Each structure stands twice: as C-alpha cells, then as structure tokens.
C-alpha cells in the first residue's frame, strides 16, 4: 500500500510476477485508489514513482536481490505495441469509428478488426500489456474508461482463447 504524502492520494499497488521467461521479475499490475473512484494519469504515475522509490529503498535493506526500473510515463502507441505489423492492425481498429474517434468501434466489422489485431499478436509473438492499451485509449484517445476496459477485456479473452487453441 502506498501511504499518502506530499499531496499523493492513498492507493493500493498490486504487483505481479512477469512472464515465465523471467520468473523473478515483477511489474505493477494496477494502482487502485482507496478514497476516490479513479485517478488521473498524473496521479497514477506519481503513485507509481513513489512506490518504485519506496520499493527500491526496501530492496536495499532486505536480503532480496533485485532492482527497480521505471518505464516512460508518456508512452506512445509505438512504445505500447512495438511490432509495426501488430500496431498497424490496432490502428486500423482505432480508425474504424469514422464518426467519433473517441467512441468505441462496435460494429461487427469493427470488432473483427480488433480480433485480427489479437490474432496478429499471437501469430507474430508480440508481447503487449492490455492495461497499457487501456490507459492509452483513455489518456491519448479520450475514450470513456468503460469502453477502454471493454477493449482490454476483449484482448485478454482473445489471447487466453488463442493460448488454449495453441495447446489443443
């Protein structure tokens, strides 16, 4: 838990293990505010940086070996989806909603474009984090949080289904 201080709202910081390729690596999976409904991007990043600083101090005092790395708070879509081909498929999905670019593209052909992006992630072995895509949609594309959460859930579900399919 991140304690409030210096104008920072109290929040819970969830950490999780990274992929199986790096079993002793952790990442911040989510930051959840305690006393309000949601955080601004600046508040979220501030809490994350404070947590990283405090965790770094804890590591130095503990018997655990580790380091703390922070990513750029102002990620572009190219940072979030580094593969050019995969990013191209995602951009096609974003451009589906020609009437309102901040609205969730929800026509069946639009959803198919999102599904093609998900398939491309698996086909090309791309590693993306759906939470970063969700934040990008809210912060940079000005999407409603519920719409961005739907996209994140669709990506997560699609990746899970394709992972099972690969093992079938």
Instruction: Reply yes or no on whether the pLDDT at 143 is more than 80.
Output: yes
Mean pLDDT for the chain overall: 83
Q: How do residues 97-116 score in pLDDT, each as one tens digit?
A: 665 666 777 788 899 999 99
Contact in structure between 119 and 162 (CB atoms under 8 Å): yes
Q: How do residues 52-101 score in pLDDT, each as one tens digit?
A: 888 888 888 888 777 777 776 678 899 999 999 999 999 999 988 665 66
pLDDT at res. 7: 62
Nearest to 117 by CA among 159, 75, 145: 159
pLDDT band at residue 151, thresholds of 50, 70 and 90? very high
- Please tell me the pTM assigned to this model: 0.62
pLDDT at res. 2: 45
């Amino acid at each position: 838990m991140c304690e409030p201080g210096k104008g920072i709202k109290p929040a819970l910081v969830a950490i999780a293990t990274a992929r199986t390729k790096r079993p002793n690596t952790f990442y911040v999976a989510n930051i959840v505010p305690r006393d309000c409904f949601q955080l601004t991007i600046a508040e979220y990043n501030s809490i994350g940086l404070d947590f990283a600083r405090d965790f770094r101090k804890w590591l130095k005092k503990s018997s655990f070996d580790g380091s703390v790395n922070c990513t750029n708070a102002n990620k572009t879509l190219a940072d979030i989806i580094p593969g050019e081909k995969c990013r191209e498929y995602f951009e096609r999905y974003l451009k589906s909603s020609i009437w309102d670019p901040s609205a969730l593209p929800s026509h069946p052909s639009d959803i198919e474009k999102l599904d093609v992006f998900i398939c491309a992630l698996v086909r090309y072995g791309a590693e993306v984090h759906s939470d970063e895509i969700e934040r990008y949609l809210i912060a940079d594309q000005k999407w409603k949080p519920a719409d961005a959460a739907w996209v994140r859930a669709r990506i997560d579900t699609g990746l899970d289904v394709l992972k099972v399919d690969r093992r079938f």
